[in-house]
Amino acid sequence: MPYLKLRDGAQLFYKDWGNPNGEIVTFSHGWPLSSDNWETQMFFLAEQGYRVIAHDRRGHGRSTQTWDGNNINSFTNDLQELFEHLDIRNAVMVGHSHGGGEVTRFLGKHGTSRVKKAVLIGAVPPLMLKTAENAEGTDKSVFDSFRQAMHKDRAQFFLDVPSGPFFGFNRPGVQKSEGQIRHWWQQGMNTSFKTAYDCIRDFSETDFTEDLKKIDIPVLVLHGDDDQVVPIEAAGRKAAKLLPKGELKVYPGGSHAIHNINVDEVNKDLLDFIRS
């Protein structure tokens, strides 16, 4: 399995699938998951002739479980090292949830010289936390309850999240996938406790507003209007307006995990946008 040794000695796991000479699409995963959460999109695009690359952020999946550095600036510096190591150019970046924040900060901090387009799916930007200026955000007490649940019983909490709001399995009439729940749990439990805990603050309190304003490439924003984790009014709709070249597509009734639930539609939207 391929690993990149980072500046501090940490090992970053990554997947590099498909046509080695094809156009590159990179994937950044959400909390508290790993690159495995993108497997259906990666397989689909690899079959279309693309080179698809996804990494496990430090502390997640198969990457080194570092005690420090569990924050968006460290994550994006790691990703920049991976881009340089693999000489990634003219790429399309795709990010979900916290990974959408990673893509946004990466482009805001490191620029767009290596990237031609980006896709944000159920992404956290511009800001999840409710403040005086961000009335549509989520109250801090919700994120405090996440931390309390981790302290009490992380394993159960990591069953409750995918069994309910993450995939929208708590909605009436929705068919629940036990496989999706177990897969989420497995990924989450492979992430270090410290990283998962630190990232609750990182994804909820990081303000990406200025990053969004700097991104000068086309960005497709995909968001479900029944996203119970990252509500569309606080995220997708605002992000699309802040992006100079942003385009919003709303998935009616869509959950936080539209790429896992609305697989065919998301895959088609990705392919159409990449080809456009």
Which residue numbers are catalytic? 97, 227, 256
Q: Which of 102, 135, 99 is nearest to 211 (CA)?
A: 102
- Mark residue 207 as left, alpha or beta (left: phi above 0; alpha: psi -120 to 50; beta: remaining): beta
Q: Which two tokens stand for residue 247?
A: 């385009």
β-sheet bridge partners, residue 248:
221
**Cα–Cα distance between 213 and 39 in angstroms, integer?**
30
Under 8 Å between Cβ of 129 and 105: no
Q: Give the contacts of 272 (CB within 8 A, at least 6 positions apart).
A: none
Q: What DSSP element (H or E) covers 16? A: strand 11-18
Q: Which two tokens stand for residue 144?
A: 């405090």
Under 8 Å between Cβ of 169 and 163: yes
